[in-house]
Amino acid sequence: MSDTGPDDLKRLGARLEQVQQRKQSATQAPPTQMGIAFRFATELVAALVVGGAMGWGLDWLFGHFGFHTKPWLMIVFFLLGAAAGIRNVMRAANELNAQMAASNAPSVPNDEEN
Amino acid sequence: MAMHPMEQFEVKPLIEHPLFQIAHHPIYFTNQSLLMCIVVAAASLFLTLAVSGRRLVPSRMQSMAEVSYEFVANIIHSSAGEDGLKFFPFVFTLFIFVLFCNFFGMVPGSFTVTSQIAVTFALAAFVVLMVIIVGFMKHGLGFLKLFVPKAPIYLLFLLVPIEVISFLTRPISLSVRLFANMLAGHTMLAVFAGFVVMLGSAGGVLSVLSIAPMFLIVAIMLLEFLVAFLQAYVFAILTCIYLNEALHLHDHH
């Protein structure tokens, strides 16, 4: 073909890019249902554990300096941990949504888009 | 019964005498250390031998090495951006180590290193520590802005602790996910294998039935290979996501 103009080249470039993108999204393995559920569960529980442990540690620390806060910081931080857990799950769900949108799969509807 | 399903996770010293002592704690060479040595040796051998030919048209081994290289490079590029590629050696080493540990654990009679929370937690703590160091090196004290979400000031005294806790859960959720997946899969395999032995030794019609859990084991084995790969992938991609946050702070939202 002798009439290969820059337009043809551009079109070829665009098509190559499309193929490349399709290939790339195919290599990104979509997480299994089990994997998603497991991820959310660990995020939630881990935050509770960390929150509780932090409160307990602070109580212990303050106890050494003569402040008797004994159960209260643990209770407060346990609740904060619960909040952090919810925050983690929300973040994980957003990440999954972005990942699935990138691979053109139907995503979980999100009515809180930014 | 002859075998307990959890017996496979027992760490036992292979050499009677401790290798050396750290603060009066004897350090043994265990079956876990042996498997780790094998994994490291196998991974380095595979990667060096595969690319030693340096052919333009790759051999099978070489293209396997190249595919794994590109796979990890793609993960980093898509989730941590261009400047995340500086951390390619780190993420690649992590990915290959976890992947090989998982796959070597699938060999019957061997030991799954990643089914020990001590191992996975050490890996995850290492990742988070590096994220913190990178964040402080790149942004200085500005890295602490990661813990301050955009919100009215009167809410911050509540939100900052929440963000700190949320950050601190990372090493735990990262390590627990890998460890629990491997533990659950291998326990399941052992339990079903126990069914085969129990049914087989029951005699009569029941002995014939022992073929059923056998088929189930084959199916679960295939699933476990998928899980072994997926967990290594998840570990790598989460490392990249955390790195991305340290590198770019909030601007990915």
Would you say residue B29 has pLDDT above 70? yes
Specify if A6 maps to a domain: no
Specify if B11 maps to a domain: no
A51: nearest CB among B165, B173, B230: B165
Specify if A41 maps to a domain: yes
Lowest mean pLDDT among A14-18, A81-85, B130-134: A14-18
Could you give the CA distance from residue B48 to residue B65 in angstroms, rounded to a whole number? Answer: 9
Establish if A43 touches chain B: CB-CB under 8 angstroms. yes
Comparing A20 with B65, the larger pLDDT belongs to: B65
Tell me the per-residue pLDDT of A12-63, one tens digit each, with 9 for 90 and over: 888 888 777 766 554 455 567 777 888 888 889 999 999 999 999 999 999 8
Specify if A59 maps to a domain: yes
Total domains, chain B: 1
CA distance A5 to chain B (A): 31
B166: nearest CB among A31, A32, A84: A84
- Residue A66 has a pLDDT of 84
Would you say residue B1 has pLDDT above 50? no
Could you give the CA distance from residue B103 to residue A81 in angstroms, rounded to a whole number? Answer: 35
Helix/strand/coil (H, E, C) string of B110-143? CCCHHHCHHHHHHHHHHHHHHHHHHHHHHHHHHH
Q: Which domain holds residue A80?
A: 35-108+110-114
A80: nearest CB among B165, B172, B173: B165
Specify if B17 maps to a domain: no
Specify if A63 maps to a domain: yes
Specify if B253 maps to a domain: no
Over the Cα atoms of chain B, what is R_g?
A: 22
Would you say residue B12 has pLDDT above 50? yes
Specify if A72 maps to a domain: yes
Would you say residue B3 has pLDDT above 80? no
Q: Provide the mean pLDDT of chain A.
A: 79
Specify if A19 maps to a domain: no
- To which residue do tokens 């080493």 refer? B93
Specify if A16 maps to a domain: no
Could you give the CA distance from residue B179 to residue B81 in angstroms, rounded to a whole number? Answer: 28
CA distance B109 to chain A (A): 26
Could you give the CA distance from residue A48 to residue A82 in angstroms, rounded to a whole number? Answer: 5
Specify if A20 maps to a domain: no
- Indicate yes or no: pTM above 0.90: no
Would you say residue A107 has pLDDT above 60? no
Disruptive mutation site among A43, A54, A75, A78 for chain B (greatest number of B CBs within 10 Å): A43
Q: Which domain holds residue B38?
A: 28-51+58-248
Comparing B251 with B41, the larger pLDDT belongs to: B41
Total domains, chain A: 1
Specify if B16 maps to a domain: no
- Residue A109 has a pLDDT of 55
Contact across the interface for B165 and A42, Cβ inside 8 Å: no
Specify if B5 maps to a domain: no
Q: Give residues with Cβ within 8 angstroms of B7, minimum separation 6.
A: B190
Q: Provide the mean pLDDT of chain B.
A: 88
